[in-house]
Structure 1
Amino acid sequence: MGIGLTALSVWALWVNHRDYAEAIQAGAPILLEDTGITAMYLAPIAYMGLALFGMCGVVVAIRGKAFVKEVSDKLNKVVALLLVVGVFGMLSGSYVANKLWAEHFHNQGYVECSQPFLMTGKWFTAVWVDSVSLCDDRRVLKLFGAGKHVSYINTFIEESRH
Structure 2
Amino acid sequence: MAYRKLSEQVQELSNPQRSDAFVKQFREAVREGRFDATFLTERFTMPKTFSRRGAEGSYQRDTRDMLFDVTPEFEAWFADTNEALASTRRSGNVKPTAENISAGLVDFKALAEETRRKMQASYEKGQALGKSRSRTSAGGGTTTRSRSKN
Q: Shorter-chain-normalised TM-score: which range?
A: under 0.3
* Structure in which a larger fraction of residues adopt helix: 1
Task: Choose between structure 1 and 2 for higher RCO, CA contacts under 8 A separated by at least 6 residues.
Answer: 1
* Structure in which a larger fraction of residues adopt strand: 2
Q: TM-score, normalised by structure 2?
A: 0.27
Between structure 1 and structure 2, the one with the greater Rg is: 2
